[in-house]
Amino acid sequence: MLSFLYARQSGLDDPVRLRRAESTRRVLSLELNHNRDVDRIHGNGINTLDIEVIDGRYMLSGGSDGIIVIYDLENNSKKPQYTCKAICTVGRSSRHVHKFSVETVQWYPHDTGMFVSSSSDKTMKVWDTETLKPAEEFQFDGNVYCHHMSPVARKHSLVAVGTKDPKVQLCDLKSGSRIHILQGHRGEILSVRWSPRYDHILATASTDIRVRIWDVRRASGSLFTLDQHNGDKSKASSEAVNTAHNGRVNGLCFTADGLHLLTTGTDDRMRLWNSGTGENTLVNYGKVVNESCKGLKFTVSRGCSPEFVFVPCGSSVAVYGLHSGELITMLRGHYNNVDCCEFHPDYQELYSGGKDCNILAWVPVLRQPGIEDDETNSKRGGTQAAINPAFEDAWSSDVD
């Protein structure tokens, strides 16, 4: 650390280097920390999480019970340990609450005043954060599995929606209407993702084991379909041509620079693709157990070097090197299957939600000063010194 600081100070390194190195170190030291809890509100499994990028302060969660909760992640306790408070809830008492399981929640990328949720009750609702009332409601014919708004688009405000229907729907928030459908898939749409690089590029994943990349400005079909064999016919049977996985594709995630796309399938594989060419980079992540029959919400790190992938894997979250494919660690802590995880790029923290109704916060380990040094502190006795707050309760009786 000192050498990085020195290099930054003397201009030998770009300041970004220290930042990347420290971010990487922090991701590698993620652990379930007793200093951090998240309020437990949901009475059923948690399907989806989203942290807004404006202040990096508020997190949304959506559960199988149809409830949506907003948490404040900021530490106002003036102490290292704190609980992320649920500041508001769209609970069962609200008449606007989703009737069935909430599958996806997402903040409006440019303003925390609005967020969008979609549910198995065949609706997608656009919420006003202030009033917690829907400003807009879209009705669909089938269960809504997923939706996504472009994180970079300024020219359009389209929400891509994936439902039981093989057609991907594009809803315009400005007009409040469904303006376009993208036809090509033959199965249910389990995941949709806009590129973080180009505001017109969309990726969709379906139970038809294919992943399509679309340019929404073009009326005719998709740009291309991801092919796990990179066009090598000899390796695939005729029906498996242009397939991304050998099972339902239920998860999509672009890397932060938008140059790569990750996909997960029920064939227990995860693949990394060049998002510009559709080429399979053939990074081998090994077996990535994937039992989810719905969409899987996984995420990648940002600002690290190298970058990491966080994938729910049974009751733990697996951390892989994005480009190496190496399994770095399994974050174990949930009592039941994990369905979603979300990375906080400002502080390199990970939040995961699972069927055990818990949201767990995975926090980097701090570099604490040595224990011996603290001992000299406690030996003093008598005066009320600042003791490690973790022991504060035990000591409070001593205070006169």
Residues that bind another protein (CB under 8 A): 1-2, 5, 8-12, 15-16, 18-19, 22, 53-57, 74-76, 78-80, 259-260, 274, 276-277, 279, 281-283, 302-303, 323-324, 345-347, 366-373, 376-377, 380, 383-386, 388-389
CA 132 vs. chain centroid, Å, equals: 23
Least distance to another protein, CB of residue 249, Å: 21
Q: What number of residues does the chain have?
A: 400
Amino acid at 135: A
Least distance to another protein, CB of residue 235, Å: 16
> CA 175, 177, 180, 184: dihedral to nearest 10 degrees?
140
How many CB atoms sit inside 10 A of residue 317's CB? 26
Is the Cβ of residue 12 or residue 293 nearer to another protein in the bound state? 12
Is the Cβ of residue 4 or residue 138 nearer to another protein in the bound state? 4
Least distance to another protein, CB of residue 129, Å: 17
Q: Are 273 and 281 in contact (CB under 8 A)?
A: yes
Least distance to another protein, CB of residue 109, Å: 9
Least distance to another protein, CB of residue 362, Å: 15
The SS3 of residue 15 is helix
Is the Cβ of residue 196 or residue 265 nearer to another protein in the bound state? 196
Pairing of strands 299-300, 308-313: antiparallel
Decide: residue 321, CB within 10 A, 0-12 exposed, 13-18 middle, 19+ buried. Answer: middle
Is the Cβ of residue 24 or residue 169 nearer to another protein in the bound state? 24
Is the Cβ of residue 44 or residue 388 nearer to another protein in the bound state? 388
Pairing of strands 249-254, 68-72: unpaired
Please enumerate in sequence order all residues whose Cβ is within 8 A of that of 362, keeping only pairs 6 or more positions apart, or say none.
Answer: 30, 31, 32, 33, 317, 331, 333, 349, 350, 351, 352
Q: Which candidate, 106, 114, 126, places its Cα nearest to that of 50? A: 106
Is the Cβ of residue 95 or residue 380 nearer to another protein in the bound state? 380
Q: Which candidate, 202, 298, 213, 291, places its Cα nearest to that of 247? A: 291
Q: How far apart, in whole angstroms, are the C-alpha atoms of residue 326 and residue 28?
A: 13
Least distance to another protein, CB of residue 7, Å: 9
Q: Are 143 and 161 in contact (CB under 8 A)?
A: no
Is the Cβ of residue 23 or residue 118 nearer to another protein in the bound state? 23
Least distance to another protein, CB of residue 78, Å: 4
How many CB atoms sit inside 10 A of residue 87's CB? 11
Least distance to another protein, CB of residue 392, Å: 11
Q: Which candidate, 170, 283, 141, 275, places its Cα nearest to that of 212? A: 275
Is the Cβ of residue 172 or residue 346 nearer to another protein in the bound state? 346
Alpha carbons within 13 angstroms on the beta-carbon side of residue 42 total: 29
Least distance to another protein, CB of residue 369, Å: 4
Is the Cβ of residue 55 or residue 398 nearer to another protein in the bound state? 55
